[in-house]
Structure 1
Amino acid sequence: MKSLTKQSLFLLMILCLALKSFAQIHPNFTFKPEKPTNGQTVEMSYDAKGTPLEGKQKITSVVYQYINYKWVAADVPFSGGNNSWKASFKTPADCGFLAVKFKSDTLTDNNHDTGYFIMLQDKDRPGALAPGSYLGWGVARSPKTEMDIPGYMKFEGISDTATYMWFNQEITFNQANKSKLVVPYAKAVKNYLKDAATPKLRAAITFLTRTDATEDELLKARSISGNVMEDAKLKDSIDHIITTRFPKGSLARLAAFKNISTNKEMPAMVKAGEKFLADFPVAETNAEFDKENFINYGTVYQNIIVTGSYLDKNDDYLNKYINLLPYNILSTVFYKIVGIPYKRKDETDARLLAKTELLMSRYNYFLANQPADLAYLSPLEWKTNWEMERSKFEFIPYIGLLISAGKDEEAFKYTELAEKYLEYHDATVNNYYTILLQKRGETAHLKEVLKYSLYNNQATTEMLEMVKADYVKQNGSDKGYDDYLSKLKNPADKADFEKEVAEGMINKAMPEWSMKDMNGKVVSSKSLRGKTVILDFWATWCVPCKASFPGMKLAVEKYKNDKNVVFYFVDTEERGSTYKAEVMKYIKDNNYPFNILFDNTAAGSKQNSEVFDRICKEFTISGIPQKLFIDQNGKLRFISVGYNGSASALADDISTLVEMTKTAK
């Protein structure tokens, strides 16, 4: 061990020299005083020359503060020009280390992924670095620790040796914080010393399991023994100590949490979940232990709320727990109790809107009260992140429900916010926007939205009708309309799609099949030889299948006069005795000009999926919607899966695949 100690001292000396010569010196970033203390105002200067931000007219920054061993980000604007920028920043009194990222629009400068850093002196200990200074410098460049700054820089990381040294320095000069850092320190020791780390780790466990140890310290000893040392026997002995001293503590909470999932019936699971919440209130939990042992209060709330929404057909649980829902579970709850029923249309809009507004109130709470685990995002970054995520998902049904309730002004506000981030790349939001603009009589703005939507090929059939009506009004007829519409779309999208699908063209024989249509007439693969055939496998319970039908209708109508192209919509994977009647009613009610085929039911099967099952096995596919493109010789050429939400894009994609299938050799 003596030689190891000498090696460690040597490496420490090298690291200290590196720290002195590099950590505080950057060619484009300087600050005064040269050795700032925590709590002191730092005057920062930034020379943008030679950086990605050279010549920019506006520069701002995000300053990451290492406070109590957590990263907290702040927005700091810089003033100046001609590549010379300045800002003042008052460092928090409990901060040990700063990292800076400069920004202009979408561009950033982080010193070529080596970082702009400031180590702070301790205001209470002259000549000493502030608590967190050593470790901030170490973990900011050590992603392996999972204590670095998320998204700050792409860096493979310093060595295990260097990481250990910075942990060691932090604990050596800040003994009061050693219990707080003991688990990540133990991991750093293990990574550096490997098997030789055992004496150090056992010494730490001895300290953490002393007779007056707190439960938190014992839990840390448990983590080190189990996750770092992988010593099951030692971990079990510590478990015994914990359960003896704290019979209603964290291990009891872990057992109660695991017990919830042993209840197979949903009502029993809800009862167990409510008992867990009553016996182990979230306000009294140990968040670090919960994270390590996968105890998730959000999942408990989610299961109770979703069960109440679906089984009990009420929202009592949502009302009860809404103000306890953590941010990271909100989207899942929203999807299950709003997103799914909204798509399926199996709940009233009024009830869905009531649930949505409750959930949005919780979302808005977090917008104003940024979650602690996301403090590494600056306030402006957090606001942008929040708005962007909501625009991709929650705002979409919310806007539709607001329109349904006649709350057009509120719907318009959210639509404009969503388009700020989606930039006309979502057909559903584009459709809502055109509906609202039409109601408002904003004709010029409406035409602009239609133009941008069509350029991105993200339009609904209703939007296409608006475009066609305007074209006819302007030209007196629809002559030349198809060519006009084609020119509105981005030609690069079609070229990219053609290139992509051409590389994946298939040339395999299709299994033979025969199925009956809605009139009971048998249609077979043999009878269709010589034609280009599109089989669209769908089911009445499949939401994306039915959502794609307006786009498929456009494609079918395009080829209605081409006798060599036939579309068949194959209803599959249905159960019960009424599905045929349901299919025929659905097709009739929606005025779809589709040729329907019913998949066969194999002997002993409970669903009609005989043909689809054989095709899935033959081509290793699964799930619906699945669209198969078969050439005139009975060879499968393309498979198209799913639906991206745009009727216009789907129709164009189908048309491209049809044409490529027709000419395949």
Structure 2
Amino acid sequence: MNTFLVHAQSNFTISPVRPKAGHVIKASYQPKGTPLFGKKNVTATIYQFTTDYTWRKVEVKLVQQDTSWVLDYKLPEDVVVVAFKFKSGKITDNGQGMAYGWLISGEDDKVLPGAYAGWAFLRNASVPELFPDFTTDKFLIGDDVVDYWMKLQVRENPSTKRHIFYPALKVLKKMDPEKARKQAEEDLSYMKLLDNVNERELLAIKKVYAEILERPAAADSVGRLIASIDSAAIKRRNPEKLEAVKALRNERDIKKLLPMTIDFLERFPMDKADRAFDQQNFINYSKFYSSIAIVSSVEKDSVTFKKYVANAPFGSLADIFYRCMEVPYVSLKSFTAQEAYVYARPVMSRLLQFNQVKPEGFMDVYFSSIPTYANILMHLGKDEPALGFATSAQQKYAYGTATLNEVQAILLERTPGKTAELKQVLEQSMRKNQMTPLMMNMLKKQYVSLQKSEDGYAAYLASLKDVKLDSALENKVREAMIKKEVPDFSVKNNSGKVVKLSDQKGKVVVLDFWASWCAPCKAAFPGMKMAVEKYKNDKDVVFFFVDTQEKIKDYEAYVKKYLKDNNYDFNVLFDTGSSISKSYGVGPIPHKMVIDKNGVLRFSEVGYMGSPSELLDEISMMVELARKEN
């Protein structure tokens, strides 16, 4: 709902009619038909409801033009509602029953958060502390109208609930005490999930316990918490707290870090913190909870992990899920699905507790976690919830994420009666060029099953490709083409043979710089495997996977086992001391290079975008363009 002009009469106008915070407005007041008609020296009081949910009054002078009074005024950046009261001496005009008020919008032309609530508070005194002296009539609108605006506020901007839950409940109690009590329980549960609840919000919680639920003991308890947060004792401990934080930041021993962080939270709990001090000194509790979760997952200490994740602030959950599930389960494959589930389930449970609150970034964290969580559930045979998660995630990804597409395809393939849905997923994924090797096999299998033959499959596959996407990728590859001399190298491969670049003259050489610790490097391997298989019978194209920047002593043994376990028949070059990567200017990995048959570097690309089929197309385009160079 985009409501900007709340009320305008012929005797008062604002330009533009959709005023924006931080912009200049032109106000014109024509007093004919009002109590100020014929009066001199008309001035105005501008009532401004701000982003911190308080009222501010500004006295302004008007300029008379003929029979009108006009004003140019720049709205402050923090204003969400403005209302005008005109006066001359003791006589005033505020628009009477309707009020001269406007809701302010942002640069996106949407009504700013808090505006609907401010518009209600302006005209109803059921919550005295939020009612300005705009009118002597304390009930220009009824409580039912205030309730409407409050609900609209929360519906349009869910995050504003933390600011208005108490006044909304106070109004609701006047209309329906029992309904207010039930809503109060829900709202208090909501508030408990929020990060960094401030003193003002705690005071509102206290009032809810005291006035809405009529629980004086609970109200007193919150009062003591408020007092403790502002107590001199806490502030006196700030230097000690800062020293503890410095010690945590400097600790490099993972076995010491876990007990140190736990001790820190015990000594300086998040709900009893001097928030202003924390902000000034960049003390972020989300990082402490992340640290405990990460270290305890590495140590396989699920008890500690669950205990602290159950109370982790929202800001820590994305990092926890990525570091504790995504990396070990998807990239490093050091967790089985069962092991990953032990840690993934409490994180998802905690995340879903924030569903009602929906803090900023909630949907991004939720959707980014779903592909991996659905994968874990799938491997545990929990197909129904896994498919539900995967299907819902397509609302955001729309078949634009290969890993999610594969999970959904597998689940559909093994669910009876889902052949049509599977076909749709495979075809849509192909159109987005977000296919995995397994999905390519599924697509071919389904085609042969329906057509009873492979005849026409290549044409069918080509018909699913998006010409625009292919063209954009080709243009990107062509624009990335370079011409640079590179030095020779001579290193051993994973079969113990010495490989020299100079021996590859006359061939197109593809180099993939990677490391055993590099998650994106390994994520790209399925696509690289597709490329290797495509050119396996082409004697003029060779692939070398340069294992570089290693950090573990026995990396050669690890690499050989990793390749065998994952069925990667790669020719790996062990870049001891990272000599090749240094001489070739390789920094971040994965880093892929394509060298033409004359030994000239033609392509040098860093990173992996996540689609095996897209990577196959990109490498193929590079190889073919390099092949044409003389």
TM interval, short-chain normalised: 0.5 to 0.7
The question of whether the paired residues in 1 share the 8 Å contact of 2:19 and 2:104 is answered with no
Distance 1:307 1:593, change over 3 A: closer
Distance in 1 between the 2:579 and 2:513 partners?
Answer: 12
The question of whether the paired residues in 1 share the 8 Å contact of 2:159 and 2:358 is answered with no
Residue 530 (str. 1) matches residue 506 (str. 2): yes
Residue 413 (str. 1) matches residue 388 (str. 2): yes
Residue 22 (str. 1) matches residue 10 (str. 2): no
Shift of 1:659: 1.1
1:226-279 CA distance string (max 9 Å, x none): xxxxxxxxxxxxxxxx98x86635455444433433444334433333333223
Residue 439 (str. 1) matches residue 414 (str. 2): yes
Which one-letter code corresponds to 1:347 in the other structure? F
From 253, 262, 267, the equivalent of 1:274 is 262
Which one-letter code corresponds to 2:266 in the other structure? A
From 288, 302, 326, the equivalent of 2:313 is 326
The question of whether the paired residues in 2 share the 8 Å contact of 1:98 and 1:117 is answered with no
The question of whether the paired residues in 2 share the 8 Å contact of 1:250 and 1:285 is answered with no
Residue 363 (str. 1) matches residue 351 (str. 2): yes
1:548-602 CA distance string (max 9 Å, x none): 2221122122223322222222333346675444434443444434333333x3x
3-state SS of 1:325 partner: coil
Shift of 1:648: 1.0
Distance in 2 between the 1:641 and 1:615 partners?
Answer: 13
1:193 alignment counterpart: none
Shift of 1:308: 2.1
Distance 1:125 1:652, change over 3 A: closer
1:645 alignment counterpart: 610
3-state SS of 1:597 partner: strand
Residue 662 (str. 1) matches residue 627 (str. 2): yes
Residue 349 (str. 1) matches residue 334 (str. 2): no
1:142 alignment counterpart: none
Matches within 5 A, 1:378-417: 386-391=362-367, 393-417=368-392
1:78-115 CA distance string (max 9 Å, x none): xxxxxxxxxxxxx9xxxx9854589xxxxx74499xx9
Distance in 1 between the 2:337 and 2:551 partners?
Answer: 28
Distance in 2 between the 1:300 and 1:111 partners?
Answer: 37
From 246, 259, 270, the equivalent of 1:258 is 246
Structure 1 alignment gaps of length 5 or more: 1-19, 29-34, 36-62, 74-90, 103-107, 131-148, 153-178, 181-215, 221-241, 375-384, 602-606
Distance in 1 between the 2:564 and 2:284 partners?
Answer: 47
Matches within 5 A, 1:166-177: none
From 476, 484, 488, the equivalent of 1:508 is 484
3-state SS of 2:491 partner: strand
2:290 alignment counterpart: 302
State how many pairs are aligned: 459
The question of whether the paired residues in 2 share the 8 Å contact of 1:631 and 1:661 is answered with yes
Distance 1:585 1:509, change over 3 A: same
Distance in 2 between the 1:338 and 1:111 partners?
Answer: 39
Matches within 5 A, 1:179-258: 248-258=236-246
1:581-627 CA distance string (max 9 Å, x none): 4434443444434333333x3xxxxx4x22222112xxxx3133222
Shift of 1:492: 1.0
Distance 1:252 1:513, change over 3 A: closer
Distance 1:151 1:504, change over 3 A: farther
2:428 alignment counterpart: 452
Distance 1:296 1:583, change over 3 A: closer
The question of whether the paired residues in 2 share the 8 Å contact of 1:24 and 1:118 is answered with no
Distance in 2 between the 1:277 and 1:591 partners?
Answer: 45
Distance 1:360 1:464, change over 3 A: same
3-state SS of 1:368 partner: coil
Distance in 2 between the 1:254 and 1:613 partners?
Answer: 40
Residue 610 (str. 1) matches residue 585 (str. 2): no
Give the TM-score normalised by structure 1.
0.61
Which one-letter code corresponds to 1:22 in the other structure? I
Distance in 2 between the 1:151 and 1:277 partners?
Answer: 27
From 388, 399, 403, the equivalent of 1:424 is 399
The question of whether the paired residues in 1 share the 8 Å contact of 2:545 and 2:570 is answered with yes
Distance in 2 between the 1:643 and 1:99 partners?
Answer: 44
Shift of 1:424: 0.2
Distance in 2 between the 1:129 and 1:533 partners?
Answer: 84
1:444-466 CA distance string (max 9 Å, x none): 11101111000000011111001
Percentage identity across paired residues of the two chains: 36
The question of whether the paired residues in 2 share the 8 Å contact of 1:533 and 1:565 is answered with yes
Distance in 1 between the 2:281 and 2:511 partners?
Answer: 48
1:430-483 CA distance string (max 9 Å, x none): 011111111112101110111100000001111100111223334454344334
3-state SS of 1:570 partner: strand
Distance in 2 between the 1:26 and 1:540 partners?
Answer: 57
3-state SS of 1:449 partner: helix
3-state SS of 2:355 partner: helix
Structure 2 alignment gaps of length 5 or more: 1-11, 21-28, 30-48, 56-76, 81-97, 126-130, 138-156, 161-198, 201-225
3-state SS of 1:324 partner: coil
Distance 1:23 1:257, change over 3 A: farther
1:317 alignment counterpart: 304
Distance in 2 between the 1:127 and 1:643 partners?
Answer: 60
The question of whether the paired residues in 1 share the 8 Å contact of 2:296 and 2:304 is answered with yes
